[in-house]
Chains A and B, each alone.
Chain A
Amino acid sequence: MATTTATISIASDITDYGFALSKTMTLTKAGITTGIENTNGLAIKKLAATTAVVLELAADATASGANKVYIRNTGSNKAEHVKISLNASASADDTTEAIGRLYGGDWMLIPWEANGTGHNIVAAPSTASEVTTIEYMTFHE
């Protein structure tokens, strides 16, 4: 059994009293304490067009499991982003399955239903004038 942990820390001066949060989770299979044992590995994709591309296929994971997806925009440009969606053809913000925009340096770690092609993880950069590099990894049953 593998043991994988993920820790988030958030710090902010958004209020006069500040805000701080730290939380660690151990990635386990659905409904039990056994650790997640499968991954597609840490991957890098360089995107030079605004065309939406599939990062991860839902078919590679167990549907409705305790899957997790990590994605990071490795760039530093806060004026451009890569939009992450759950739909294979999504490229606009107002598609039903649009999740959000990762600007330069932004990251996300989300649970992943992975139940059918509608749950494929898709990325679409906002610009073709520079290469957008995405780092990503799935953890699944």
Chain B
Amino acid sequence: MATTTATLSIASADLLPSSPLSISASSTLTKADTTIGLHMMESGSGELTVAASNNGVVVKEATTAGIGTAAKVYLCNKATDPTYYIQVKLHDAILGRLYAGDWMFMPWVQGDTDAEISVEAEGGTCPYEWAIFKEGETMVART
């Protein structure tokens, strides 16, 4: 069983007027409804060019096997120009914008096979990297 931990630290000395902000969180990534660790990982990197139309590229398709699972997704925009951003979508729903240097980490329940994650560069070419931690899959039989 794999053990994967994700820790977070958020800090600011001056966002709150009354006191410094310090948030710490740590999670062991497990399969849905159990204490068994997630044991599959996929990762990659690439460059997103600005699409001519409002169409992004799919980072990961949702699958039938993935529905209702406890997958986690990490995504980072490695661009350096602050005006460049990556728009992240869950199927038709825009989740938000990752500006240069921004990263995100989220659970991904894959509610149905249409719940793909897609990304689209805006402003300029955005290098990016991603990783998905997930439960096992039944491999497709050879044809």
A25 to B38 CA separation, bound complex (whole angstroms) = 26
**B34 contacts A79, CB within 8 Å?**
yes
Q: Tell me how far the C-beta of B126 lies from the nearest C-beta in chain A, rounded to whole angstroms.
A: 13
In this complex, the interface size class of chain A, counting residues with CB under 8 Å from chain B, is 35 or more
CB-CB under 8 A from A110, the residues of chain B are 95-96, 104-106
Majority-rule SS of B interface residues = strand
**B67 contacts A93, CB within 8 Å?**
yes
Q: Tally B residues with Cβ within 8 Å of A.
A: 68
A39: nearest chain-B partner, CB-CB: B15
**B83 contacts A31, CB within 8 Å?**
yes
Can you pick out 7 interface pairs between chain A and chain B where the beta carbons lie within 8 Å of each other? A5-B11, A70-B10, A100-B109, A103-B32, A106-B107, A107-B8, A137-B23
List chain A positions with a Cβ less than 8 A from chain B.
2-15, 19, 21, 23, 25-26, 28, 30-33, 35-37, 39, 41-42, 64-68, 70, 72, 78-81, 83-84, 86, 92-103, 105-115, 118-119, 137, 139
Known: A14-B133, A70-B23, A137-B23. A108 touches B107 (CB 8 A): yes
**A111 contacts B70, CB within 8 Å?**
no
**B91 contacts A10, CB within 8 Å?**
no
Selected from A10, A86, A100, the residue in CB contact (under 8 A) with B6 is A10
Q: Tell me how far the C-beta of B48 lies from the nearest C-beta in chain A, rounded to whole angstroms.
A: 15
Selected from A13, A30, A72, A99, the residue in CB contact (under 8 A) with B95 is A99
**A86 contacts B93, CB within 8 Å?**
yes
A56 to B86 CA separation, bound complex (whole angstroms) = 23
Selected from A23, A39, A93, the residue in CB contact (under 8 A) with B68 is A93
**A2 contacts B12, CB within 8 Å?**
yes
A42 to B19 CA separation, bound complex (whole angstroms) = 12
CB-CB under 8 A from B70, the residues of chain A are 81, 100-101, 103, 106
**A14 contacts B4, CB within 8 Å?**
yes
CB-CB under 8 A from A108, the residues of chain B are 105-107
